[in-house]
């Protein structure tokens, strides 16, 4: 989308503009928790935004490389998203309908299912939960545990699946004995010191041995959870052959495979869903961030035979956000109809090719990697 110039919200030379900007920052620093992250590193006060551009209270314009931590697949305030939100607001529809059926929800699910990998779309069910990705991860773990009657999980080193207790248990650095953290293959810091296909093969063999040699009477895990591209772990794409092998290992043992597409979904990696690069069809997909069109929304999509929870199982109060569903439908449709995933693949390959030259030119650059 071409980004039009933002009309100035604040005259940078006007008396008080800088004082207002600094006053807001000062009050935020005094009132908010020290757990602030972006605000500590970026002393700006956004007041307007469009596309890739943010304007601060001081009148300065910034190129936004954060993209709302992955929530803004179309950039800030895209016209199709704003139109969808206004339509719901003007209609008088309820803004939170819990899990009741609504036209807005029906349209969202229909468009979501249209984008899913065919092998999953044909048998998909969807479960709405609390609005954060962590909620979706928790829900997915509960789902596979209920469906299999087992409790253990397999996760991978470097993983980041959220900040709630259950999601943290599946992330790197946790100590839940029910979660086995196995090596995630990569070239730059290969856990076996070899990288490439050999490193990926060793990682797969380790996983196979854990699945098959867990001891007399030890049950298989309830599921395996994987990020197709690790985000917080260092933007590390899973090798396609390794991911296919994980799918085969889990399928052969009736262990549900959970793909965490919270950061990678909706075209970011050059495919609508990152698992599509390897041709893998997971049993469960965990989705959030971009699917809400910049608003809080999280869902779990899963194979219908895993639908074990009893009616009325806890799912979260804010699972019926109609504005987020409308914005999400608009985003999913726009990305699909305008082939934006393919565009991300083209631009990403061009950027990666140009950046790879830096490895040879600058000794301080250890690796260049990414997808999309």
98-337 classified as CATH 3.40.640.10:
yes
| Tens digit of each residue's pLDDT (9 = 90 or more) over 83-103 | 999 999 999 999 999 989 999
Q: Where are the alpha helices (DSSP H) in the chain?
A: 17-31, 38-41, 67-70, 79-91, 103-115, 118-121, 133-148, 165-169, 196-212, 240-252, 322-337, 340-361
pLDDT band at 232 (very low <50, low <70, confident <90, very high): confident
Residue showing tokens 């069910």: 125
Task: Find out whether 341 and 236 touch, Cβ atoms under 8 Å.
Answer: no
| Tens digit of each residue's pLDDT (9 = 90 or more) over 171-188 | 555 555 578 889 999 999
Q: What phi, psi does 155 have (nearest 5°)?
A: -130, -175
In the chain, where are the structural domains located? 98-337
pLDDT band at 162 (very low <50, low <70, confident <90, very high): low
Task: Find out whether 134 and 142 touch, Cβ atoms under 8 Å.
Answer: no
Contacts with 14 (C-beta within 8 Å, 6 or more apart), sequence order: 59
DSSP state of 5: P
| Tens digit of each residue's pLDDT (9 = 90 or more) over 113-136 | 999 999 999 999 999 998 998 899
């Amino acid at each position: 989308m071409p980004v039009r110039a933002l009309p100035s919200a604040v005259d940078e030379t006007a008396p008080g503009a800088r004082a207002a900007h600094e006053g807001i920052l000062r009050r935020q620093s005094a009132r908010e928790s020290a757990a602030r992250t972006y605000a500590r590193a970026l002393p700006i006060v956004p007041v307007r935004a469009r596309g890739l551009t943010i304007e601060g209270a001081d009148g300065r314009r910034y190129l936004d490389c954060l993209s709302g931590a992955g929530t803004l697949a179309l950039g800030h305030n895209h016209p199709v998203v704003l139109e969808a939100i206004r339509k719901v607001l003007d209609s008088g529809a309820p803004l939170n309908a819990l899990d009741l059926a609504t036209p807005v929800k029906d349209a969202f699910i229909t468009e979501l299912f249209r984008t899913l990998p065919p092998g999953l779309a044909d048998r998909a069910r969807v479960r709405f939960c609390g609005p954060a990705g962590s909620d979706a991860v928790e829900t997915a773990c509960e789902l596979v545990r209920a469906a299999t009657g087992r409790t253990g999980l397999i996760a991978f080193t470097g993983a980041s699946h959220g900040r709630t207790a259950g999601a943290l248990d599946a992330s790197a650095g946790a100590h839940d004995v029910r979660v086995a953290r196995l090596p995630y293959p990569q070239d730059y810091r290969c856990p076996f010191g070899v990288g490439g296909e050999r490193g990926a093969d060793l990682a797969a063999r380790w996983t196979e041995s854990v699945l098959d040699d867990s001891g007399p009477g030890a049950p298989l895990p309830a599921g395996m959870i994987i990020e197709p591209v690790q985000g917080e772990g260092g933007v590390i794409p899973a090798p396609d052959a390794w991911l296919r092998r994980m799918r085969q290992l889990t399928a052969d043992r009736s262990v549900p495979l959970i793909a965490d597409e919270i950061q990678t979904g909706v075209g970011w990696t050059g495919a609508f869903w990152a698992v599509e690069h390897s041709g893998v069809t997971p049993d469960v997909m965990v989705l959030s961030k971009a699917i809400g069109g910049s608003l809080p929304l999280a869902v779990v999509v899963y194979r219908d035979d895993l639908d074990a929870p009893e009616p009325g199982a806890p799912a979260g109060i804010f699972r019926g956000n109609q504005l987020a569903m409308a914005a999400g439908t608009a985003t999913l449709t726009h990305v699909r109809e305008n082939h934006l995933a393919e565009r991300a693949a083209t631009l990403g390959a061009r950027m990666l090719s140009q950046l790879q030259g830096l490895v040879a030119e600058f000794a301080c650059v250890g690796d260049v990697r990414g997808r999309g």
